[in-house]
Amino acid sequence: MSALHQLRIADWLKTTPTGQTITVSGWVRTKRGNKDIAFVALSDGSTINTLQIVAELVNFDEEIIKKIQTGCSLRVTGALVASQGAGQTVDLQAQKIEILGEADAEKFPLQKKKHTLEFLREIAHLRPRTNTFGAILRIRHALAFAIHKYFNDHHFYYIHAPIITGSDAEGAGEMFRVSTIDPQNPPKTGNGEIDYSQDFFGKSANLTVSGQLESELAAMALSRVYTFGPTFRAENSNTARHLAEFWMIEPEMAFFELTDNMDLAEDFLQYLIKYAMEHCADDLVFLEKRLIEEESQLKKEDRNPMPLLEKLKFVSETAFERITYTEAVAILEKSGRKFEFPVKWGIDLQSEHERYLVEKHFKKPVILTNYPKDIKAFYMKLDEDGKTVRAMDVLFPGIGEIIGGSQREEDYEKLSKRIDEMGIHRESLWWYLETRQYGTVPHSGFGLGFERLVLFVTGMGNIRDVIPFPRTPKNLEF
Ligand code: ATP
Ligand code: MN
C-alpha cells in the first residue's frame, strides 16, 4: 500500500483489535522488558500516545533486539491485539521488525529524564520528538488550519502580502534591511551615504513588519480579506513574548466599524480556542498535567489561577470586557498599586498595566479602545474629540496584548494631515493615499500574533517554545 494511505498510530489506537496484521513505522521512545520479552513504546507523531510493541525474543535475532534503543526508527509488522497490560488498550505483537535508523541511546541527547525547556531550545532539531513539543506542534497546526477555516466560512479571501517591502512607514517596529549591496564596497552618494538606488530594488528595502497596508488595498475590492504570513521586527526586546520573526494574522474588512471589528476579534478568538479544545484534547490534557507538575514548585500566588482546560473553556465562553483607554487609566490610577511605570493619561500601557486589568481587576479578557492618537499609528481613525483614535487592543490573561487593531481613517484630508503631522514621508505612501481618493469606505482590521495565540492555548510560558525554530537576538542556529 502506498505510504500515503497507511494508517498511523493514532488510527490504530482507536481501532478494535482483532489480531489483524498491520505495519507501523516510527521512533522508539522507550524499551523495557526481561530475558523473554521486550516492550517498546513507538511514536509516529500522530498522537501524544505511543503504540506498545511486544516482541518475544525467541522470534528475533539478538542483534535486532539490541539495536532497538531510544531514538532509533523502526518499521514493525505484527498482529494488533487487545493489551494484556495496564496503560494501553492495544498491543502490536511483533512478527517482523526492521531497523530503519539506528541510534545510540547513551549518546542520544533526549534521555528519559525530564529536560528543561532551556536545554531543549539548544537541541531544537530534536525537540519535536519530545511529548511536549509534539503536542505543541500539533496544536499549532490545528490552530493554523482553524484560522483558514474560520475565514473561509465567513467569506474572507486569503491575500498573500509581500514579505519584502519598500515602505518603512508602518512604524510598527524596527526593520531588517534586505540588500544585495557588497558590504565591503558599497556604492556611495555624493555626501558619503550608501546609495540604495544602486541596490537590487533601486531603493532601500526591508522585511515587512505587517501586511496591513497591502491587505487594506485588497479589502477595497474584495470587502473581506486576511493575510497570514511571517512578519519581522528587529526590536532588541529579549522578552518571553517577542520574536524577531513571527506569524501574524491580519483580517481587513470594508464596511466594518470599530464595534464590528471587536465583535469579529472576540468571535474569532473564541472559535479558535474551542476548535483546539475539540480537536487537540489529548495534547491539551497532557500539557495541563505538565503545567500543574511544573507549577507545584511555585508559591500559590505565582501559579495560574485555573488549570489550562478550565481557563480555555472560561475564555471561550465569557464575553470580553470592553472599556476605553481613558476608563482603564482611571482604574489603574485608583488601584493603589505601585507600578514600575507610573500611570497617567497619555502613556503607552505596559504589560504590567495590561495584566493588572485582565488578571486582577476584570479577571477576563479585556478589549481596550480609543487610545490617545499620539501613541498609535497614523492610519487609525480620529475620534470626534480629536484626541483619541479608534484603536482596539485585545488583552489576554498571562499574555497581555494578543491583538492590536483599529478602524482605519478613510477620510483623505484627515489621513493626509496625520501623515504630515507625524513626519511620515508621504511620497512613499501615494498608493495608500489614493485608496481614500477613489471610492473610500469605512473599514477596519487587526493583527493577531499567531505565537501569542499558541502560547495562550498551550499554556506555555515562553514564546520561543511555541514556534519550531525561534528567531531572537543573537540566536540563529538551526
Ligand atoms: P507589543 O506591544 O506586545 O510589542 P505591538 O503593539 O508592537 O506589540 P502590533 O504592531 O500591534 O504589536 O502587532 C499586532 C500583534 O502582533 C500583537 O498584538 C502581538 O500579538 C503580535 N506581535 C507583535 N510584536 C510581536 C513580536 N515581536 N513577537 C511576537 N508577536 C508579536
Ligand atoms: Mn499593538
Residue 169, pLDDT above cutoff 70: no
- Which of ligand 1's atoms lies nearest the C-alpha of 233? 27
Please give the pLDDT value at position 170. 60
Shortest-distance atom of ligand 1 to CA 447: 14
For 296-328, how does the pLDDT look when each residue is reduced to its tens digit (9 = 90+)? 988 888 888 899 999 999 999 999 999 999 999
Helices (H), ranges, 184-319: 212-222, 258-279, 281-295, 308-317
Helix axes 258-279, 281-295, angle to 10 degrees: 90
Yes or no: say if 222 and 157 are a contact pair by the CB < 8 Å rule.
Answer: yes
Task: Specify the pLDDT at position 302.
Answer: 84
pLDDT of residue 173 exceeding 80, the answer is no
403 CA to centre of ligand 2 in angstroms? 7
Q: Rounded to two decimals, what is the model's pTM?
A: 0.96
Give the span between the Cα atoms of 436 and 199, in whole angstroms. Answer: 31
| Residue 313 DSSP one-character state | H
Question: Which residues, other chains included, contact 99 with Cβ-Cβ below 8 Å and sequence gap of 6+?
Answer: 64, 67, 68, 72, 73, 74
- Reduced to 3 states, what is the DSSP secondary structure of residue 239? coil
pLDDT bin (cut points 50, 70, 90) of residue 378 is very high
Q: Looking at the predicted structure, is the pLDDT value of residue 361 above 80?
A: yes
Q: For residue 348, which atom of ligand 1 is closest to its CA?
A: 2
Atom nearest to 393 CA in ligand 1: 18
Residues 6+ apart with CB under 8 A from 270: 315, 316, 317
Report d(CA 123, CA 108) in Å as an integer. Answer: 11
> Quick one: pLDDT band at residue 457, thresholds 50, 70, 90?
very high
Q: What is the mean pLDDT of the chain?
A: 95
Amino acid at 102: E
pLDDT at 228 (0 to 100):
98
Strand residues in 129-280 grouped as ranges (E): 157-158, 164-165, 177-178, 205-207, 224-232, 245-254
Atom 9 in ligand 1: residue holding the nearest Cα: 404
pLDDT score recorded for residue 84: 87
1: pLDDT confidence band, cut at 50, 70 and 90? confident
Q: Is residue 452's pLDDT more than 90?
A: yes
Residue 167 has pLDDT above 80, yes or no: no
Q: Measured in angstroms, how far is the CA atom of residue 401 from the centroid of ligand 1?
A: 7
Find the mean pLDDT for residues 130-151: 98
pLDDT tens-digit readout, 98-127: 999 999 999 999 987 889 999 999 999 999
How buried is residue 68: exposed, middle or buried, by Cβ count under 10 Å (0-12/13-18/19+)?
buried
With pLDDT > 70 as the criterion, what percentage of the chain qualifies? 99
pLDDT, average across residues 218-222: 98
Give the chain's end-to-end CA distance (angstroms, integer): 34
C-beta 117 within 6 A of ligand 1? no
pLDDT of residue 152: 98
Mean pLDDT of 238-265: 97
Which fold is adopted by the domain 3-110? OB fold (Dihydrolipoamide Acetyltransferase, E2P) (2.40.50)
Note the pLDDT tens digit of each residue in 431-443. Answer: 999 999 999 999 9
464 CB within 6 A, ligand 1: no
Taking the domains of the chain in order of start, what are their residue ranges?
Answer: 3-110, 129-174+209-465
**What's the confidence (pLDDT) of residue 171?**
61
Q: Is residue 172 pLDDT above 80, yes or no?
A: no
- Residue 309, phi then psi, degrees to nearest 5: -65, -35
Q: Which residues contact 74 (CB under 8 A, 6 or more apart)?
A: 25, 26, 27, 28, 40, 42, 53, 68, 97, 98, 99, 100
Identify whether the C-beta of residue 422 lies closer than 8 Å to the C-beta of residue 290: no
| Confidence at residue 305, expressed as pLDDT on a 0 to 100 scale | 86
Pick the CATH number of 129-174+209-465 from 3.40.50.720, 3.20.20.70, 3.30.930.10, 3.40.50.300: 3.30.930.10
Q: Which of 235, 242, 243, 252 to mutate to test the pocket of ligand 1 (most atoms within 8 A of CB)?
A: 242
